[in-house]
Amino acid sequence: MMKEHLNSVMYEARHSAIRQFSNLAKATPGCVMLTLGEPDFDTPEEVKAEVSKAFENHETHYIANNGSPELRRRIAEFENEKNGHHYTEENVIVTAGAEEGVFIALFGILNPGDEVIAPVPAFMVYEEITKMCRGKFVPLDTTDNGFQIDPERLESLITERTRAIVLNTPNNPTGCVLNRASLDAVYEAVKDRDIFVIADDVYQQLVYTDDCHSIAEYEGLGDKLILVQSFSKPYAMTGWRMGYMCMDADIRERFELIHQFMITSTPAPFQRAALKALDADTSGFLETYRKRRSFMLKRLAEIGLEVTEPEGAFYVFPSIRKFGLTSAEFCNRMIKEVKLAATPGFAFGADDFIRLTYCYSDGELEEGMKRLEEFVRKLEKEGQG
């Protein structure tokens, strides 16, 4: 069998539980699905219109590997305004979404056996890419600390093989924002060490507080900082697969080789659209998410599920610990018994929780929470919880 001759790393890789439970929901007639982080809004019209202009101008040929100079300059300006950097187009690579950026960063950093620390709960892509790069993923548990980083715990995980710390704030799956103490802990841990910090900031424009900060704001990181961003979430452009990464120019000169041989470049017609998106007004999206968040928190309180209030993104991450079920058991039963799909917490390294996404329509959320309550009451009658 030829599959026995595949790269051995492929036998350690896992399929996305988010996709698995979404597919199970799709195969269940009448199932309400609150699994995918997929905005229910359409991409803004003015952004879509730019693609037509690109076609009219015959912009369908090869472009610079790292993206059009105009787009890279605007990205640099955007990040400078937001985080106080001094980026130019020479610091930017336009990527096929944020996941390519994370892959480039980890592939570019890691040698076999090197270690990557990430606070968990965390998006599973960090662990899976680390393993594909023959590195070791080191989870930093935050579940007993309000999803914040404990400095002593972080310090205890750092070894001579630690090469990177990955931060995602606001966080997927919790929606929580890392506070100043957490960010300071990371900065203090790396400032005198040769450790990169990968800032996965894809939800930084979807926040409900004025006190949201990024590790990318810390000027003292210098060439240790690798910033990863995406157009997917804030601009409802998930299917466009457009993102970018910013870093020191010397690092970019190496990383662009990985990007070049992975995808050559992102689609030429989408460069104009991404440029337009950076100036789009998405405040309406945010206000809708804010209202939906309030609804979800109100219903979870009524149902009796403990949850840490999210300050960003569009997820809630309630605890199911009291029911004595694994998150997979809970979510499988919920699909079968009340036709509601959520993502089990084991997918994010936290088995006592489930993730519910509120970037769905108000009607779907109302029906979904009705079914969640029905399922919880059923478990309580069975003597669980």
Give the count of beta carbons closer than 10 Å to the beta carbon of residue 211.
9
Q: How far is 187 from 139, CA to CA, in rounded Å?
A: 18
Name the percent of the chain lying above pLDDT 70.
Answer: 99
For residue 200, the model assigns a pLDDT of: 97
Query: In this structure, which amino acid lies at residue 208?
Result: Y
Evaluate if residue 384 carries a pLDDT over 80: no
Evaluate if residue 14 carries a pLDDT over 90: no
Q: How far is 322 from 20, CA to CA, in rounded Å?
A: 25
- State which fold the 2-43+282-381 domain adopts: Aspartate Aminotransferase, domain 1 (3.90.1150)
For residue 15, the model assigns a pLDDT of: 77
Q: How far is 71 from 65, CA to CA, in rounded Å?
A: 12
Q: What is the DSSP string of 332-364?
A: HHHHHHH-EE-EEGGGGT-TTBEEEE--S-HHH
* Structural domain boundaries in the chain: 2-43+282-381, 47-277
Whether 87 and 66 have beta carbons less than 8 Å apart is answered as: no
160-188 per-position pLDDT tens digit: 999 999 999 999 999 999 999 999 999 99
Q: How far is 110 from 126, CA to CA, in rounded Å?
A: 13
Evaluate if residue 251 carries a pLDDT over 80: yes
Evaluate if residue 194 carries a pLDDT over 90: yes
Nearest to 168 by CA among 116, 214, 99, 234: 214
From its phi and psi, is residue 121 left (phi > 0), alpha (psi between -120 and 50) or beta? Answer: beta
Q: What is the CATH number of domain 47-277?
A: 3.40.640.10
Nearest to 156 by CA among 134, 141, 171: 141
Alpha helices in the chain (DSSP H): 17-26, 45-56, 69-83, 97-109, 125-132, 151-157, 180-190, 249-263, 268-277, 283-303, 327-338, 362-381
118-148 per-position pLDDT tens digit: 999 999 999 999 999 999 999 999 999 999 9
Whether 84 and 219 have beta carbons less than 8 Å apart is answered as: yes
Q: How far is CA 187 from the centre of its chain?
A: 21
Whether 331 and 354 have beta carbons less than 8 Å apart is answered as: yes
Could you tell me which residues are beta bridge partners of residue 118?
A: 139
Q: How far is CA 290 from the centre of its chain?
A: 19
Say how many Å lie between the first and final Cα of the chain, rounded: 48
Q: b/e for 97-109, b at 16 or more Cβ within 10 A?
A: bbbbbbbbbbbbb
* DSSP helix/strand/coil, 200: strand
**Phi/psi of residue 21, nearest 5 degrees:** -75, -25
75-126 per-position pLDDT tens digit: 999 999 987 888 999 999 999 999 999 999 999 999 999 999 999 999 999 9
**Phi/psi of residue 317, nearest 5 degrees:** -135, 70
